């Protein structure tokens, strides 16, 4: 996944995000060390400001996501239902797929989640939840 050239990008310590033409929030994970719980909480607070407190559809490229610990997974499982309507995850790496599958298999989420290897298919799937 590559951000469009004419898009306003928002940089977080662990990802780059932007809204696409359909209002889907796109996120690309950066190759960085695992964040701390405090860093994750700061990121979520900023994320809420960007979305204006509205639930969004999230397209996340987790190819370069670092593994997460239980504390961060538990926190994400608690706050993501307040933020997202549906999540599509793209990963072309075995580690990225493992991280995403681990998170979503440990705790059933109250929103639709689906893994993809293709950005176009992921966006098409998300459009039904806009």
CATH of the domain at 96: 3.40.50.10600
pLDDT at 73 over 90: no
Rounded percentage of the chain residues whose pLDDT exceeds 90:
54
If one compares 36 and 106, the residue with the highest pLDDT of the two is 36
Q: Residue 32 is part of which domain span?
A: 10-127
Average pLDDT over residues 26-39: 92
Question: Is the CB of residue 28 less than 8 Å from the CB of residue 15?
Answer: yes
Q: What per-residue confidence (pLDDT) applies to 96?
A: 63
Q: Domain count of the chain?
A: 1
115: helix, strand or coil: strand
> What's the predicted TM-score (pTM) here?
0.88
Give every CB contact of residue 32 below 8 A, 6+ residues apart in sequence.
13, 14, 66
Q: Tell me if 65 is assigned to some domain.
A: yes
Q: Tell me if 5 is assigned to some domain.
A: no
d(CA 44, CA 129): 21
Q: What per-residue confidence (pLDDT) applies to 11?
A: 93
Average pLDDT over residues 30-35: 90
pLDDT at 109 over 90: no
Q: Tell me if 4 is assigned to some domain.
A: no
d(CA 94, CA 37): 24
């Amino acid at each position: 996944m590559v951000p469009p050239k004419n898009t306003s990008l928002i940089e977080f310590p662990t990802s780059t995000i932007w809204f696409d033409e359909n209002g889907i929030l796109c996120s690309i994970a950066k190759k960085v060390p695992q964040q701390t719980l405090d860093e994750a909480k700061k990121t979520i607070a900023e994320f809420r400001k960007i979305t204006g407190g509205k639930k969004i559809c999230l397209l996340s490229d987790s190819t370069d996501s670092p593994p997460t610990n239980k504390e961060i997974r538990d926190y994400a499982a608690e706050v993501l239902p307040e933020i997202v309507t549906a999540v599509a995850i793209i990963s072309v790496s075995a580690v990225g797929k493992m991280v995403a599958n681990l998170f979503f298999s440990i705790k059933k989420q109250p929103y639709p989640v689906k893994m993809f290897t293709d950005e176009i298919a992921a966006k098409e799937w998300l459009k039904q939840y806009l």
